[in-house]
């Protein structure tokens, strides 16, 4: 039926294109998509056509033939997962098609020509000769494993041109991505539907307020625009220039203009905007952009969550004010001169004597000042120059050694001098608190002097012996308290930094240097190795217990499960092992305990009808189980190919379980539907009527013309169509029909439906 759909799609597209020009988007357009803010939406009816932008879907890059009686939805994923939905038509015979697109990094206008945006698509269903037509509910539920299914139903495998099932697989979606869903009523019926978005495990319902995701503020004088984006689309109708104010460093205000490519084109939502600033920014300083989102006019996202108001100060100094630094006050020797440099880009200069050059030569005592001006403003600086008596004098003293914690103050102060210490610091004084070489270069206008001093620290005494030691018999423990420049005295009068211990006892030492004395001691004890025995491997029936117990004095226990008790109660199969650990070593043992498991899964099911092929019973339990069927077969799988009573016995060393089931002969009930009839009152084949040997219940039989108009309806299985409508004889040709009914077969009532064509002959 792909060709019929294509013909109708072309007709509707041409018709509505002629009627409509580019207008404000509606819910039938991607730009007017309904934001999904709740699990279930009910549409009592759908409108003809495809909205004011009817050319949004391309049949060449999707499974659809375009938009027919369409409605669009949009959502932004809050938490990654698998998205799904179910659409249930109000009219069970309606055929709904749909397609889902990812527009995270795209616009609505890209859908028509960018095949990579298509995520999932289903056009299965429609009228035709296929008895398994897929009209009725549709969606992405995981009922099939396919993401793309074209027209028709029952084609295997499906593709963009052929459908298999009205249901696609669940759709993986990613947090932060934005999607649009187009729903199309291919039956061209105004009957609506209910769509349920709450069937999957993904969070698409937005309860979080939007936030500014990126804000590009001016950085240079004369900048006149601000661009910003939100972390999600906002409602175009809730944002305007009134939501923004800009104040300058002097409190002055600016006129702002808001622009958005999508909102300005009539779209209902967008995430990217710009503000034009008038007049352009000139003065350097701190500006503040205020985003005002307060009741009764807050900026909201598509689900009505309001943006919080915020304040955004920014500094404008690039190119901004010129930079000038003449340096600190300084001295020069008689006959010397110093060049003061105020050079800045695109600037003018004014010195204290009216000079207008970027540099100035000073050769006498006095105060020198300059004002530098550019397009953004002006900056001034000044420096004092004085005459010096000669080069600086500095003396840091002799090299020295300090005790831990002591400090040494070094002073290199000289007249009108600059200072540079070994670490780059420039103060005239320096405080020493660590060993090392310290040097200073002192410079004034008359010369430079360098001096250096080395400072050493007596290290703090460190006596690293534990107060208690545990050793195994035969071990030798070395107690070592070595410290540079220290002396030692042990309890036995020895003076070495180390002491060897071979027996239990208490040992002490005193360590001294010129700044500190430390005394420490250690107690040493010797112990022996542990030993354990759990017994031989064993087997148990389910429900029995085995107590494992060990007893090692002064030991720490570690079982295979991490427990530390001296005993363990075994209730399941496995390898049970324990380690006993003391200061001298570790002993280990393990035991294998096997449990014969209970026999599970011996369930042949309820009595049923054997209608196709055979039934395979599988009562596989575990490797210790044995099997016996009614015919003596001893395998866990048994294939039953004929009706009868089937009995199985599954047994082990611990128990026996039995089950049985009866398979009955299959019942069948078919319906024959003619493909042509000739209502010419000749007594043969004058009516079009489905025929069946079974009772047809819940019966509904309809006939339509090729435009979908209803010509005949009956709930009576004995009443057929005579080729007339509203009292008029219809011309020969192909007519469509739809049939739904229930039959009882094989012990249950089965609901069936079918659609097809009938050729009326005259």
User: pLDDT, tens digit, for every residue of 294-349?
Assistant: 999 999 988 889 999 999 999 887 666 677 888 888 878 877 888 889 888 778 88
Structure tokens at 344: 């800045």
Neighbours of 746 (CB within 10 A): 15
Closest CA to 641 of 658, 666, 670: 666
Of 438-442, 523-527, 556-560, give the lowest mean pLDDT range: 523-527
Q: Helices (H), strands (E): how many in the chain?
A: 2, 57
The pLDDT assigned to 321 comes to 64
Residue 166 in this model has a pLDDT that exceeds 60: yes
Residue 707 has pLDDT above 60, yes or no: yes
For residues 109-120, average pLDDT: 94
And the tokens for 523?
Answer: 């107690």
Whole-number pLDDT of residue 13: 33
Number of CB atoms found within 10 A of residue 108's CB: 23
Cα–Cα distance measured from residue 124 to residue 95, given in angstroms and rounded to the nearest whole number: 8
Q: What is the spatial distance between Cα 455 and Cα 619, in angstroms, rounded to a whole number?
A: 88
Under a CB-based contact definition with an 8 Å cutoff, are residues 235 and 281 in contact? no
**Is the model's pLDDT at 2 over the cut of 70?**
no
> Residue 220's pLDDT is what?
79
Please give the residue that has the higher pLDDT: either 202 or 103. 103
Q: What CATH number belongs to 676-760?
A: 2.60.40
| Residue 203: predicted pLDDT | 84
pLDDT at residue 458 in the model: 81
| Number of Cα atoms under 13 Å in the Cβ half of residue 635 | 6
Asked whether 229 and 256 are in contact (CB, 8 A), the reply is no
Assess whether pLDDT exceeds 70 at residue 16. Answer: no
Question: Does the pLDDT value for residue 7 go beyond 50?
Answer: no
Q: Tell me, which fold does domain 468-527 have in CATH?
A: Immunoglobulin-like (2.60.40)
- Looking at the domain that runs over 538-596, which CATH code has it been given? 2.60.40.10
DSSP 3-state assignment of 31? Answer: helix
Do the domains 2-196 and 400-458 sit in the same CATH topology, yes or no? no
For residue 14, pLDDT beyond 50: no
At residue 14, φ and ψ (nearest 5 deg) are -65, -40
Question: Which of 376, 234, 252, 247 is closest to 305 using CA atoms?
Answer: 234
Q: Does pLDDT of 130 surpass 50?
A: no
H/E stretch holding 16: helix 2-19
Residue in 487, 478, 472 with CA at minimum distance from that of residue 530: 472
467-498 residues labelled b (16+ CB within 10 A) or e (exposed): eebbbeeeeebebebebeebebebeeeeeeee
CATH number for domain 400-458, candidates 2.30.40.10, 2.40.40.20, 3.10.20.30, 2.60.40.10: 2.60.40.10
Closest residue by Cα to residue 600 from 551, 649, 549, 657: 657
Phi, psi of 86 (to 5 degrees): -130, 125
What pLDDT was estimated at residue 8?
Answer: 31
CATH of domain 2-196: 2.60.120.380
Q: What is the mean pLDDT of residues 714-742?
A: 92
Per-residue model confidence (pLDDT) at position 294: 92
For the record, the structure tokens of 93 come out as: 């015979």
Which tokens hold the place of 692?
Answer: 């069946």
pLDDT tens profile 726-738: 889 999 999 999 9
Is the pLDDT at 373 greater than 80? The verdict is: yes
- On the question of pLDDT at 421 being above 90, the answer is yes
Domain regions of the chain by residue span: 2-196, 212-316, 330-387, 400-458, 468-527, 538-596, 608-665, 676-760
Q: Is the pLDDT of residue 288 over 90?
A: yes
Give the model's pLDDT for residue 635.
Answer: 93
Mean pLDDT (whole number) for 350-375: 87
279 preceded by a cis bond (ω within 30 of 0): yes
Average pLDDT value for residue range 123-137: 68
Q: What percent of the chain has pLDDT over 90?
A: 37
Q: Quick: pLDDT tens for 214-273.
A: 899 998 777 789 999 988 888 999 999 999 999 998 888 999 999 998 888 888 888 889
Q: Can you tell me the distance from the alpha carbon of 193 to that of 197, in angstroms, rounded to the nearest whole number?
A: 13
Question: Whole-angstrom Cα distance, residue 305 to residue 209?
Answer: 5
Q: Which residues contact 455 (CB under 8 A, 6 or more apart)?
A: 399, 400, 401, 402, 408, 432, 434, 435, 436, 437, 438
Start-to-end C-alpha separation, the chain: 26
Contact 694/750 with Cβ under 8 angstroms?
Answer: no
Tell me the C-alpha to C-alpha distance, in Å, between residue 6 and each of 3, 58, 133. Answer: 5, 12, 18
pLDDT class of 21 with cuts at 50, 70, 90: very low
- pLDDT, residue 311, reads 94
- Give me the pLDDT at residue 624, please: 84
Residue of 97, 95, 148 lying closest to 120 (CA atoms): 148
Give pLDDT tens digits for 26-59: 889 998 888 898 899 999 988 888 888 888 898 8
- Closest C-alpha among 400, 471, 397 to residue 440: 397
H/E stretch holding 262: helix 261-264
The DSSP-derived string for 569-589 is: EE-SSEEEEEEEEETTEEEEE
225-235 and 212-216: which strand pairing? antiparallel
Cα–Cα distance between 704 and 735 in angstroms, integer? 6
465-506 pLDDT tens trace? 888 888 887 889 888 989 887 899 998 999 999 998 988 889
CATH fold for domain 212-316: Immunoglobulin-like (2.60.40)
């Amino acid at each position: 039926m792909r060709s019929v759909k294509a013909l109708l799609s072309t007709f509707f597209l041409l018709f509505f294109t002629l009627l409509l020009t580019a207008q404000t988007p509606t819910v039938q357009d991607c730009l007017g998509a309904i934001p999904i803010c709740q699990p279930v939406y009910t549409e009592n009816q759908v409108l003809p056509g495809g909205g004011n932008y009817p050319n949004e879907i391309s049949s060449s890059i999707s499974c659809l033939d375009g938009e027919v009686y369409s409605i669009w939805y949009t959502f932004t994923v809050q938490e990654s997962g698998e998205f799904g939905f179910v659409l249930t038509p109000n009219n069970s015979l309606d055929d709904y098609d749909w397609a889902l697109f990812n527009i995270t990094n795209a616009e609505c206008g890209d859908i028509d020509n960018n095949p990579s945006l298509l995520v999932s698509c289903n056009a299965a269903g429609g009228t035709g000769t296929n008895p398994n037509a897929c009209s009725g509910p549709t969606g992405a539920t995981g009922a099939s494993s396919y993401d793309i299914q074209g027209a028709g139903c029952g084609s295997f495998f499906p593709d963009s041109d052929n459908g298999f099932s009205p249901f696609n697989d669940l759709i993986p979606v990613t947090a932060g991505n934005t999607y649009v869903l187009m729903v199309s009523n291919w039956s061209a019926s105004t009957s609506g539907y209910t769509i349920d978005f709450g069937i999957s495990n993904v969070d698409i319902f937005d309860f979080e307020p939007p936030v500014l995701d990126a804000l590009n503020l001016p950085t240079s004088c004369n900048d006149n625009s601000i661009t910003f984006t939100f972390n999600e689309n906002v409602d175009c109708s809730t944002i305007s220039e009134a939501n923004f104010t800009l104040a300058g460093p002097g409190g002055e205000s600016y006129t702002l203009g808001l622009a958005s490519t999508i909102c300005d084109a009539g779209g209902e939502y967008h995430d990217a905007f710009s503000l034009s600033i008038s007049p352009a920014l000139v003065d350097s300083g701190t500006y503040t952009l205020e985003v005002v989102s307060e009741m009764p006019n807050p900026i909201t996202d598509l689900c009505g969550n309001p943006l919080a108001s915020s304040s955004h100060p920014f500094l404008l100094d690039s190119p901004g004010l010129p930079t000038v630094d003449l340096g600190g006050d300084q001295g020069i020797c008689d006959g010397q001169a110093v060049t003061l440099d105020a050079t800045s880009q695109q600037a003018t200069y004014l010195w204290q004597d009216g000079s207008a050059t970027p540099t100035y030569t000073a050769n006498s005592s006095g105060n020198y000042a300059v004002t530098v001006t550019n397009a953004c403003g002006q900056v001034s600086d000044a420096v004092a120059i004085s005459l010096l008596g000669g080069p600086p004098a500095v003396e840091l003293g002799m090299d020295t050694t300090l005790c831990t914690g002591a400090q040494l103050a070094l002073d290199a102060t000289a007249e009108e001098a600059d200072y540079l210490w070994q670490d780059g610091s420039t103060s005239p004084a320096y405080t020493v608190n660590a060993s090392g070489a310290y040097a200073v270069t002192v410079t004034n206008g008359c010369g430079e002097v360098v001096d250096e001093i080395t400072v050493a620290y007596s290290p703090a005494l460190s006596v690293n012996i534990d107060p208690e030691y545990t050793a195994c018999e035969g071990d030798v423990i070395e107690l070592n308290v070595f410290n540079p420049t220290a002396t030692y005295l042990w309890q036995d009068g020895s003076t070495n930094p180390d002491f060897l211990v071979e027996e239990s006892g208490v040992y002490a030492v005193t360590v001294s240097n010129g700044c500190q004395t430390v005394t420490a001691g250690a107690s040493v004890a010797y112990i022996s190795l542990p030993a354990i025995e759990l017994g031989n491997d064993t087997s148990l029936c389910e429900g029995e217990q085995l107590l494992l117990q060990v007893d090692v004095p002064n030991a720490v226990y570690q079982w295979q499960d991490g427990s530390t008790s001296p005993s363990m109660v075994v209730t399941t199969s496995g390898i049970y092992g324990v380690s006993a650990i003391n200061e001298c070593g570790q002993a280990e043992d393990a035991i294998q305990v096997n449990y014969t498991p209970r026999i599970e899964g011996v369930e042949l099911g309820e009595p049923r009808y054997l209608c196709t092929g055979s039934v395979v019973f599988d009562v596989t339990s575990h490797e210790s189980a044995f099997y016996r069927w009614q015919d003596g077969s001893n395998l866990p799988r048994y294939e039953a190919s004929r009706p009868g009573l089937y009995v199985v016995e599954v047994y082990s060393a611990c128990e026996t379980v039995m089950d049985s089931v009866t398979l009955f002969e299959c019942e069948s009930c078919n319906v024959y539907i003619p493909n042509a009839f000739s209502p010419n009152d000749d007594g043969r084949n004058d009516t079009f009527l489905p025929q069946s040997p079974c009772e047809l219940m819940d019966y509904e039989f309809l006939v339509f013309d090729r435009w979908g108009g209803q010509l005949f309806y009956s709930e009576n299985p004995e009443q057929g169509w005579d080729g007339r409508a509203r009292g008029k004889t219809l011309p020969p040709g192909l007519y469509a029909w739809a049939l739904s009914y229930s039959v009882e077969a094989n012990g249950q009532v089965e609901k069936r439906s079918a659609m097809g064509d009938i050729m009326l002959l005259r």
